[in-house]
Chain A
Amino acid sequence: MLTLPCPFCGPRDETEFGYGGEAGVAYPERPADLDDAAWAEYLFLRANPRGWFTERWVHRAGCRQWFTVRRHTVTNEVVPDAAAQEVR
């Protein structure tokens, strides 16, 4: 089981969290202006790296805040990345 560093509650078990996937995927500013390919990219294309990944979690059974960490997708090493906190 992963241990995740909630910035508000400290390290807690994975079972308390929900997963949000890739960080930094913003809703398009003017969705109506997107063509089908750009809309498909926003909807369906997400990074899927073997290695370091910046991702979102929500402390569902705790403070209910969303936050960002960097995790290695092979070793599962997790680092709370200060810079990553700004990525939404």
Chain B
Amino acid sequence: MRTSERLPGHPDFLWATADPKSSYDVVVVGGGGHGLATAYYLAANHGITNVAVIEKGWLAGGNMARNTTIIRSNYLWDESAGIYEHSLGLWEGLEEELDCEILFSQRGVMNVAHSLGDVREGRRRVNANQLNGIDAQWLEPDEVGKLAPVLDVTDRPRYPVMGATFQPRGGIAKHDYVAWGYARAAAALGVDIIQDCEVQGFETDGDTVTAVKTSRGRIACGRLALCAAGHSGVLASQLGVRLPVQSHPLQALVSELLDQVLDTVVMSNAVHVYVSQAHKGELVMGAGVDAHLGYGQRGSFHVIEEQMAAAVELFPVFARAHVLRTWAGIVDVTPDASPIVGHLAQWANAYVNCGWGTGGFKATPGIGSVFADTVAHEAPHRLAEPYALDRFVSGRLIDEHGAAAVAH
């Protein structure tokens, strides 16, 4: 055994661990990226600092530190362009805003097309993006090959590359740094970050949610803001609200550390794989969702196998890499692959932000600021308005299956 003096000292804590107070103006449930960002913007933009973020496990132990960190704003519809581009704009200033490193790297994101249908859909999306002022381009196979030389753009693969959409401002960031950055900045403004504290039910009085019942006692709330991602349906049902979300396992994996071979992000919806190479050198790859419902934070290995088969077919050099680690998160999928954000009509003071499914990491700063604004003003922010729950009754769906589906 080495003596302890060879080990580095414990780093300073980035935020103070708080014990719950008896009451807060706003209780945010869920200490993932969305909950932390919401709390930060409530304090920073709206001066509401008597806020608690309540997390049942550890900070970012849900999807926040399990995702593959792809950031882009090239979704199809205007509503999506609104929220995702707002978010991308905030990403571009986030290191300064939070005064902390988040390794945000705008290395570009490519969505590869493998069929005539994909090509048409991709070109349509590029056009829609350009009309919304988003930096989208269409790449022919030879241009794809120049940006990603290890990608096989010949006609050898079973599903050859027929082109790609490309968003140069897209990229990746380091997810846990983002969570820690928001936690530290929120705590510095007076927000209490309470971990190991599970919300188990609610106390209500008439049409008002008066308190959350937690594993660490009762905490009264002026307003309630749910940011529980995969567990949103469980919490909403405790409030008597049924949400059109289904919780599925979503898996990802990393390889060992390798020399840099890929310096952009490559996604392929058709063959279900997306790849980037993290700063340290590991290949980070994600799959499609497991078909069944699941809350166990694990999925089935055949999904990983299919994803590997697709990756090796597209990137023959990856055949020599090894899978080091696989894991899963619980993603809350909606019928139109778009989120649900807004006031819960049944309750005077309860708000929900959920349904980001497989693609909410990129939205972290954007939805944090928009949801905080919605809760602060007790009225939907302009960018949140289209995402109200009643769209499933009115029929005003925001169908992003083409741009989101298994992709991120």
Contacts and interface: CB of A to CB of B under 8 A. Distances in A.
Interface of A: 1-2, 13-15, 18-19, 21, 36-37, 40-41, 43-46, 48-50, 53, 55, 71, 73-76
Nearest to A57: B292
Contact of A45 (B231, B242, B295): B242
Interface majority SS (helix, strand, loop, mixed), chain A:
mixed
Interface of B: 231, 233-234, 242-247, 291-296, 300-302, 335, 392-395
Contacts of A2: 292, 300
Contacts of A19: 291-292
A55 B234 CA distance: 18
Contacts, number: 57
B246 A36 contact: no
Nearest to A71: B292
The 8 A-B pairs with the shortest beta carbon distances in the complex, nearest first, are A19-B291, A44-B244, A48-B233, A1-B300, A40-B393, A50-B295, A40-B392, A44-B392
A44 B244 CA distance: 6
15 contacts: A1-B300, A18-B291, A19-B292, A36-B394, A36-B395, A40-B393, A43-B392, A50-B234, A55-B292, A55-B293, A73-B247, A73-B294, A73-B295, A73-B296, A74-B295
B293 A43 contact: no
Contacts of B335: 43-44
Contacts of B244: 44-46
B294 A76 contact: yes
Contacts of B233: 48
Question: Which of B246, B291, B293, B296 has the most CB atoms of chain A within a 10 A radius of its CB?
Answer: B293
A53 B233 CA distance: 14
Contacts of A71: 292
Contacts of B247: 48, 50, 73
Given A48-B233, A76-B294, 6 more contacts: A14-B300, A19-B291, A50-B231, A71-B292, A74-B296, A76-B296
A1 B298 CA distance: 10
Contacts of B294: 73-74, 76
A14 B302 contact: yes
A14 B300 CA distance: 9
A40 B296 CA distance: 29
Nearest to B393: A40
B402 to A, nearest CB: 19
A48 B242 CA distance: 9
B303 to A, nearest CB: 9
